[in-house]
Structure 1
């Protein structure tokens, strides 16, 4: 299922471009630059390391993966709690909730018809899944790999993917900007295949978090925005009588 995709990779590699920032920094009464004396690469490394140490954040992205659009708005914390929504390109929306090491997904009819079943599933199979899961939550199986559904609520996996998927060597620093009202240093990396990665880093000496990463050009342009750092996530598992166990469902199908 598409739900098995690593969350950060799904957000950073698969999203369409959302125009960078809301306004630019202006005025002469600027605060001292917390990155004075640092190279662009060093600022990027510092931002990623700081973000990896966060206890929680919210991730918002929208765009395309494998030729299909997906919108994600998702919050996760270090205790394994998560909640958010996903929207498929062909229509439909799903809620995601995770707590206690278990994650659940509840999609509407259009979502299951667009994404249900294994890759290559027929329209009839996806339709049958839609009927089975109507008004119910799908319980994701636990696993050990990065592509397992459990990764949705695994903050360590998400930031590990961020670390590996975000290029930050050979960057240059441009004019500062604001991201959702927060001053940010703007770092840019041009790739060999025409793609450009731009990272927006909070101008905060204590917590220089990654605020946004944007990719333009290339085959997979995209953006992901991070916010609500270190805010715990309150998630409640769905009632047991509204849950369908994916492992049992797969056993029945086989």
Structure 2
């Protein structure tokens, strides 16, 4: 999990935040604690599967889900980065990205174009604008770019789960990596299996089902963002991706 994990989107997110000065700061809660179960009381449908198989299928099933609620947090050079995104499969996402002391942005991505709406704190920190009249002119407005843009576009990496998780899904079944499976536990009532990397402190929780999905990825020493935590939810309802009206989009620079 270590080698593949290093290509996870924490690095891209940190880079996007650095290039665009996108930063934000909503509060966040620590990941829920796992509660150990009596091994005699449950039947583990993944008992006969290798840790590599579990990671492959959990990642592929998560990437294939039509709706995923992705939240997370990490540390970027002493600043706490948080994100809260509703991902519509391969069709894009909506949500918020934030960093302490820098502000926050609302994000809409339709698979090809990204729109971000910064708050006042972002505008002040990113541009140095403090004049109330200037801030009023951009308040509630979006700036936009294509997904391939070297600055704003990179922030959409978290929305593209197929790309984010392809490294885990493509681990060879014969890979002699040092992942190990833990005992069956529960997180918020959900039966889960822990897969750990014995080479470092990274680990994942997946649903303890015949077709597992990711519930958490935790990497205390990720490149780009340290203390990185992803939490995955599956709302079961479609995510609406609605581009903002033209009247709310800044054109011709900002």
Question: Which bracket does the TM-score occupy, shorter chain normalised?
Answer: 0.7 to 0.9
Q: Is the 8 A contact 2:44 2:184 kept in 1?
A: no
Whether 1:171 and 2:179 are equivalent positions in the alignment is yes
For residues 154-181 of structure 1, the C-alpha deviation after alignment (integer angstroms, 9 at most, x for no partner) is: 443333366589x993111223222332
Q: Is the 8 A contact 2:111 2:147 kept in 1?
A: no
Aligned to 1:127: 129
Judged with a 3 Å threshold, the aligned counterparts in structure 2 of structure 1 residues 81 and 221 are, in CA distance, closer, same or farther, namely: closer
Q: Is the 8 A contact 1:74 1:83 kept in 2?
A: yes
Judged with a 3 Å threshold, the aligned counterparts in structure 2 of structure 1 residues 28 and 45 are, in CA distance, closer, same or farther, namely: closer
Judged with a 3 Å threshold, the aligned counterparts in structure 2 of structure 1 residues 188 and 142 are, in CA distance, closer, same or farther, namely: closer
Judged with a 3 Å threshold, the aligned counterparts in structure 2 of structure 1 residues 126 and 157 are, in CA distance, closer, same or farther, namely: farther
2:122 aligned residue (89, 111, 121)? 111
Aligned to 1:9: 9
CA RMSD in angstroms comes to 3.7
Look up the SS of the partner of 1:84 in the other structure: strand
Q: Is the 8 A contact 2:205 2:215 kept in 1?
A: yes
Q: Is the 8 A contact 2:60 2:165 kept in 1?
A: no
2:87 aligned residue (57, 67, 76)? 76
TM-score by length of 2: 0.72
Whether 1:138 and 2:138 are equivalent positions in the alignment is no
- Measured in 2, the distance between the counterparts of 1:218 and 1:97 equals 26
TM-score by length of 1: 0.72
Q: Is the 8 A contact 1:54 1:230 kept in 2?
A: no
Judged with a 3 Å threshold, the aligned counterparts in structure 2 of structure 1 residues 226 and 152 are, in CA distance, closer, same or farther, namely: closer
Q: Is the 8 A contact 1:108 1:134 kept in 2?
A: yes
Aligned to 2:44: 33
Deviation at 1:38, TM superposition (A): 1.9
For residues 196-244 of structure 1, the C-alpha deviation after alignment (integer angstroms, 9 at most, x for no partner) is: 1111010111x30011011235772221101126542113222211101
- Measured in 2, the distance between the counterparts of 1:174 and 1:74 equals 29
Q: Is the 8 A contact 2:55 2:168 kept in 1?
A: no
Q: Is the 8 A contact 1:13 1:65 kept in 2?
A: no
Q: What stretches of structure 2 of length at least 5 have no aligned partner?
A: 1-7, 15-27
Look up the SS of the partner of 1:185 in the other structure: strand
Aligned to 1:249: 253
Name the count of aligned residue pairs. 226
Q: What stretches of structure 1 of length at least 5 have no aligned partner?
A: 1-7, 117-124
Judged with a 3 Å threshold, the aligned counterparts in structure 2 of structure 1 residues 13 and 82 are, in CA distance, closer, same or farther, namely: closer
